[in-house]
Structure 1
């Protein structure tokens, strides 16, 4: 059954919901949230939601949370993704309209989300002070990305040339799975 006949949701994620990994559940010896049978469908859905964040900024945080479980999604992760779809169903027309014009001023925001990882109790970026700087730096990089991607590319090429790093192609089928 699709979502067309389902009730819409007023928020993209249930309040105070804590989604966890399989490893975390194993530590707690919890078996009440089994793995999702169809991992591929979850990965496809989250991939589409990631693309949608370009114009739907209101879903960025939830999509970031859902994308952390791409390797081993559980039923609770699928249910949260379905709630996101029900939210999108209720809120059409809230996307950011990108018009071709000059931008004189741009206001950006960032959030550190300190110690939010349930598995490690660490922030995504490190210690609090360091995380704040990294969060700000990440926002600045996003704003002026074109210039910085060139610097990143040259940096990586230089390290490859110097022999400090080596890149190898690994087929998706040979990627390590943590399930």
Structure 2
């Protein structure tokens, strides 16, 4: 069956919401929304820049429980179900430490995503994406991510679809946009585009 590879945070899962919840667990304060158009959660929520013991306390929240309980992005589960019914196999290619991959798999399963497998990479975005090697091995028809540097070095023949998300502070600008073959506000729009026009459109 044709294969589509999907990023997790920002494409399948709402990392913004999970960040806010982690802040509440660490400090007992539910931060208010500061900038709904901010790409990074530290800019989106009304939070301070942390250091020292407070930073350590916050980082401690990013444990197995955190990575197994992130809510889905709006419309993402339905988008995946529609793609699956249309005959696509779906896998997740995520920049996450190996020790948390089990939690990520559990999270996606609990949310109802029809994801066949989860592959993890490191998060360093250099001249070549850390996801490029896995994509080379999998050879999906399409790769969907919300972080432009992760498209560097992705093999030709794989449709490269960027979820553009919130624009303020976004890394999704500059010369690397030449790598992208289609842009979408979210996974739901990508799914509708695929089912309407097919992956050949814009390739």
TM-score (norm 2): 0.23
| More strand as a share of residues | 2
Instruction: Look at both structures and tell me which one has the larger radius of gyration over its CA atoms.
Output: 1
| More helix as a share of residues | 1
TM-score (norm 1): 0.25
